[in-house]
Chains A and B, each alone.
Chain A
Amino acid sequence: MSPLEIVILLPLLAAALIGAGLPAKLVGRVAALANLIVVIGLWLQFPGATADGSLVFKMSRQILDNPSISFAVGADGMSLILALLTTIVTVAAIWQIVDKPAIYYVSSLMISAGALGAFLTTDVFFIYSFHELALIPTLLMIALHGQGDATERRKVAWKTTVYLGVGSLVLLAGLVALVLNFSEGGKLTFDLTALLAVAKNAPLAAGTQAWIFFVLLLGFGTLVSLFPMHSWAAPAYATAPTPVAMLHSGVLKKFGLYGLIRIALPLLPLGAKAEWVQQAMLWMLLGNIIIIGLVTIHQTKLDSMLGNSSVMHMGYIFLGIAAGSELALRGAVLLMFAHGVSIALLFALCGKMRNQLGSLEFSKLGGLAKNAPFMTVIFGFAAFASIGLPGLANFPGELMVFAGAFDSRVAGLTEGLQPIHWATIVALWGVVMSAVYMLRAYRSLFFGAATAGHFIRDPDGEQRLPLLLLTAVLVVVGFRPGLLIDLLDFTLNTAKAAGL
């Protein structure tokens, strides 16, 4: 049995035990911590980036012969980094559950298991399937335990479910087309390694690659809230209970990006570079950065501002994917990690504030720093990370994405600035917008005159730990991004493999 299987199954087992009546808090916390320890152990054992892009901790169990589907697990640097992100955020999210019914624990553990399964399996079938584990828990948690009045949160819950459902079905159609196109003359296989081998020896025609890539972009993009399929995300995060908001925006959403880098780019390198696909992708990601950036600036409540900012920041990661160079992809993965940690930290703080203050409107709050110095400092770290300040994890990621995007060049196009360069120049303004809304929120919430009637206290010792953990991760990775990016090896994914 591979240790990865344990990592995937442990949260599921814990959820089942809680469902069977065991004490939820104890089982949930033990499972989350144990999983974090196992994944850190795997990270320490990881042999380092392997030149041939091969996987470690492999194990495969055939579950269907024709079409060939197997429960295959395996990790490379990218999946390990994302598993690390998942387990870190899961611990923090589980700790946010205080005096809540067991369904909070069950749902959080199921979302966590879904993300881990998606990141650590290497069969397209299971990569797809595990992501869907989160669908029902998300619906129930938002609809039953979300913020706001019942009609409103139900509406948000259904919107989220329908968007995610349609997105995943479009994705399924795209994946089926992919698998069918790579099985010319043979039987169907969903094994990613086998598909990669076929893609290397007998790549598809550029036209076919382009349209399959586009369908996958729509499917994965909906799950990542790529503009214009983004409108579910911000209300969902603002409405969801804190642990679900943390896990969904911090971890689960990264699945779509992971899928594009893991499945779409290496299998369809020419599709990603097709002119019309590139242009569509650039317009969409600029929609995320600029339009949603402006929307974020206009938010008047902390939770909806965070929700929108999370949608906006996906634009940078898409920019890395659109560029597709090794530097840009490494930056994109690092940014996925950093964004996951920082947004989870922000939502955790947001949840704590909501519990105590009852309101999150900027106009009604102020001067919180006086009574809650600890939260003020932590919020500062998270907000600065989110803006992209050097010394915190997001900065190297964003830098690498921008540098990689500016450096990439499509052969045969015009000399001088190409579309992706223009897009990068425009996208850089997003950093300014992030600074505007984050700093404004920071100032109006924590500084200035305190408003009457709103009192807040810092969390006690035990509740500080997960916040400190996330902050420490942001700082450590900010100073030593090599801890993570040295695990990455994208030589196979990038232009070299495509012969470009």
Chain B
Amino acid sequence: MSSFSIEICLAVIGVLLVAFDAFATSLSRKVVPALAIGAVALLLVLLLGGHGNPPALPEFAKSFYAVDSLAYFYKVFAMVTTLGVLIIAWESDSVVAHYSSSQGIHTRIGEFYALPLIVCAGMMWMASAKDLVSVFVPLELVTVSFYVLVAYTRRSGNALEAGVKYLILGALSTGILVYGIAWVYGVTGSMTFEGIAAAVKNPHINSTALLFGTALLLAGLGFKVGAAPFHIWIPDVYQGAPTPVTAFLSVGSKAAGFVVLTRTVTAFLTEGSVIGPQVRTALLVAAGLTIAIGSLAAITQTNLKRLFAYSSISHAGFLVLALACGSSQRLGISSGGIVALYLATYLPMTLLGFLLLAVLRSQGVGEELKDLTGLSKRSPGLAFALTAAMASLAGLPLTAGFFGKMLVFVAAVDQGYYAAVVVAVIGAAAGFYYYFRPILAVYSTGENDGAKLTWSPVAKGTASLLIACIVILGVYPRLLQFVLNPVPVAVAGK
């Protein structure tokens, strides 16, 4: 099955599930999650099975739809993330249902499982986007679905606040993005990345107007991936949104933003680009700011979910830094490859973190660091899993999280961006502090030495799998070699 049809299937199943949930009553609450998880799992198997077959694209799609290895990687990434998010949603079902129902009325939260499928279809499409229009349409599909998901637990004040903030800033960033697209089209006369890459080499192009358009475009995308100075919305939205949605935003939405950013930046930084140096400087400054703000602000956080939010900002900074460094012909390593590898290692550790958060939450444990004390006594398994997630997020060697950071260091030192290296060192060092604080809390003994905690077999199995990913990728990253050195990013698709 080609990826194109899989995306259509996902969207259609998503819509059908919403309809099913609206009409079937008592059954639906039990069946919809299972249907959603089953559908994503099945389609993921089909996608993986179809790798290598010549994609049967309809003729009309060929002009805007790329089928390169970059797109394939991000499609698999989106589906795996969606699967993980649905499992996290299942774990936090009771919490979400509690906060989304009107008092005393039995609620169904079928949409909560159906919408992620539609988001997934959008993210997969974004991975293939070859021109700015096919970037914009799926991006809006994703963003609008997230407007619903973020504010889904409507009886929680935090969630409503998060929903409003996300709606306003999301809409604003969309406006900026469209405006930027219009300017870029006006200057270059092209919507496709291929055409833009060709146009920016023209020395007679109006570079001021082009720069203006590019700046707007990058600002719009900066909102989506949470790069400074467009990161302000992240802490509040991440903290207020239901945990599965936060996980989705933090992993899926960020990755989708980065695949677009990879293609955009690659186009604007082509060899001989008239605005290359300016774009590079802007990205470097943004990366440095993002790492610094994310890491330094994380130090003082006492809420685990908010900590994850700042951690996500800091990781975005490292990713932008990788993009700013560009590809090294000499070493045969592309910046897109580093970003993809970073995200591939970011996925298991972040999903694991949010899964544990959901498990803890469903057991009545709070999200504050002080609520975690004594956890190692209450559940050694949970304590160990949290340690693994945090160690990997901190980028400790022999865990998956180290490779991405190390490759960013390699790229930055290779380009001679020593100021960026210094900022990255400070950011990573701060990470040792704020990621280790939860570990210390978990193994401390305190007043919370309460009853033993239990977790469901599904959660336990998923967590074990994610820990295995973290450790195996940490000591045998060869499994991700194909991600790191793919066929060069297809700006100029066939």
Select from chain A the residue with minimum beta-carbon distance to B425.
A169
In angstroms, how far is the closest chain A Cβ from the Cβ of B441? 10
Q: Are B444 and A176 in contact (CB under 8 A)?
A: no
B78-132: which have CB < 8 Å to A?
Answer: none
A135 lies within 8 A of chain B by Cβ: yes
Do the beta carbons of B425 and A166 come within 8 Å of each other? yes
Chain A CB within 10 Å, residue with most, of B410, B432, B475: B432
In the bound complex, CA of A122 to CA of B450 (Å): 47
Say if the beta carbon of A491 comes within 8 Å of chain B. Answer: no
Interface status of A499 (Cβ within 8 A of chain B) = no
Q: Are B387 and A136 in contact (CB under 8 A)?
A: yes
How many interface contacts (CB-CB < 8 Å) are there between A and B? 95
Contact B432 A63 (CB under 8 A): no
A208 in the interface, Cβ–Cβ < 8 Å? no
A180-202 CB contact bits vs B (8 Å, 1 = yes)?
10010101100000000000000
Are A136 and B397 interface neighbours, CB within 8 A? no
Given A63-B475, A173-B413, A176-B413, A129 and B398 touching (CB < 8 A)?
yes
The reply on A206 being an interface residue by CB < 8 A is: no
Residues of B contacting A: mostly: helix
B406 engages A176 (CB within 8 Å): yes
**Size bracket of the A interface:** 35 or more
| A67 with B410: CB separation less than 8 A | yes
Once A66-B333, A67-B333 are accepted as A-B contacts, the answer to whether A129 and B481 lie under 8 Å apart by CB is no
Is A103 interfacial (CB 8 A cutoff)?
yes
CB distance from A236 to the nearest CB of B (A): 15
Complex formed: what's the CA distance from A139 to B436 in Å?
Answer: 9
Q: Mark B215-252, 1 if CB is under 8 A from A, else 0.
A: 00000000000000000000000000000000000000
Of the candidates A64, A157, A176, which one forms a contact with B478 in the assembled complex, judged by CB atoms under 8 Å apart?
Answer: A64
Q: With A63-B477, A64-B481, A176-B410 as given contacts, are A162 and B444 in contact (CB-CB < 8 Å)? A: no
Chain A contacts of B396 at CB under 8 A? 132, 135-136
Q: How far is the CA of A54 from the CA of B287 in the complex (A)?
A: 44
A62 touches B429 (CB 8 A): no
CB within 8 Å for A188 and B410 given contacts A66-B332, A166-B425: yes
Set B398, B440, B475: member contacting A140, Cβ < 8 A: B440
Contacts of A161 in B (CB 8 A): 432-433, 436
Min distance, Cβ B233 to any Cβ of chain A, angstroms:
30
Interface residues on chain B, number (Cβ under 8 Å): 36
Which residues of chain B come closer than 8 Å to A63, judged between CB atoms? 475-478
Q: Nearest chain A CB to B270's CB is how many angstroms away?
A: 23
Determine if A133 is an interface residue (Cβ-Cβ < 8 Å).
yes
Q: How far is the CB of B452 from chain A (nearest CB, A)?
A: 15
What per-residue 1/0 map shows which CB atoms of B431-464 lie under 8 Å from chain A? Answer: 0110010011001100000000000000000000
- B379, chain A: closest CB distance, angstroms: 14
Q: Interface centre among B397, B398, B402, B433, by most A CB within 10 Å?
A: B397
Closest chain-A Cβ to B378's Cβ sits at a distance in Å of 16
Q: Give residues of chain B (252-301) contacting chain A, Cβ–Cβ below 8 Å.
A: none
The answer, among B384, B410, B439, B481, for a CB contact under 8 Å with A19, is B384
Task: Check if B475 sits within 8 Å of A71, measured CB to CB.
Answer: yes
Mark each residue of chain B from 403 to 423: 1 if its CB lies under 8 Å from any CB of chain A, else 0.
Answer: 000110110011000000100
With A129-B402, A176-B406 as contacts: A136 and B391 at CB distance below 8 Å? yes
Looking across the interface, which residue of chain B has its beta carbon closest to that of A154? B440
Q: A129-B402, A162-B432 are in contact. Are A140 and B439 (CB under 8 A)?
A: yes
Q: Write the chain A residue with the least CB distance to B474.
A: A129
Q: Does A165 contact B (CB under 8 A)?
A: yes
Within 8 A of B (CB), among A106-142: 125, 128-130, 132-133, 135-136, 139-140
- Say yes or no: is A158 at the interface (Cβ < 8 Å to chain B): yes
B478 touches A136 (CB 8 A): no
**Chain A CB within 10 Å — which of B333, B391, B409, B439 has the most?**
B409
> In the assembly, what is the distance between CA of A172 and CA of B413, in Å?
11
Assembly CA distance A69 to B475 (angstroms): 10
Bound CA span A64–B333, Å: 13
A residues 20-74 with Cβ under 8 Å of B? 62-67, 69, 71
Contacts of A65 in B (CB 8 A): 478, 481
Check A173 against B421 for contact (C-beta < 8 Å).
yes
Beyond the given pairs A62-B478, A169-B425, 12 more chain A to chain B contacts, judged by CB atoms under 8 angstroms and listed by A's residue number, are A63-B478, A66-B481, A67-B410, A69-B477, A130-B398, A136-B387, A140-B439, A162-B429, A165-B432, A170-B425, A172-B406, A185-B330
Q: List 13 A-B contacts (CB under 8 A).
A: A63-B476, A125-B397, A129-B398, A136-B436, A144-B440, A144-B444, A157-B440, A161-B432, A165-B429, A176-B406, A176-B413, A179-B410, A187-B331
Instruction: List the interface of chain B (C-beta within 8 A of A).
Output: 330-333, 380, 384, 387, 391, 396-398, 402, 406-407, 409-410, 413-414, 421, 425, 428-429, 432-433, 436, 439-440, 443-444, 475-478, 481, 484-485
- Listed from nearest, the 9 A-B pairs whose CB atoms lie closest are A129-B397, A165-B432, A166-B429, A169-B425, A132-B397, A176-B409, A64-B477, A176-B413, A165-B429
